[in-house]
Amino acid sequence: MGCMETETRSWLVSLPAVDGKQYVYRVYAPEDALPADLFWDAWHCHDESALPRAWDVFDAAVIWQVA
């Protein structure tokens, strides 16, 4: 059986932060990516920036696929 190439999709992940704002990150991942993986990719990107700390609460994130 040959390898199947998975198409990468664009996702937006909104993270609430301690300053009351929502920070939105674009994450590139396969269409069948797990929501938890998308969340952690966005959260780690945010955590490395100079922005106020985002909550690391999965249930508070909003995740949607970009067409």
Domain-wise residue ranges, the chain:
8-66
Confidence class for position 6, pLDDT limits 50, 70, 90: low
pLDDT at 62: 96
Q: pLDDT value at position 4?
A: 44
pLDDT digits (tens, 9 = 90+) for 24-56: 999 999 999 999 999 999 988 877 777 778 888
Q: How many helices (H) and strands (E) are present in the chain, helices listed first?
A: 1, 3
- What's the confidence (pLDDT) of residue 49? 74
* % of the chain at pLDDT higher than 70: 90
**What's the pLDDT at 1?**
37
Range list of β-strands (E), 1-67: 8-16, 22-30, 62-66
Q: Where are the alpha helices (DSSP H) in the chain?
A: 35-47
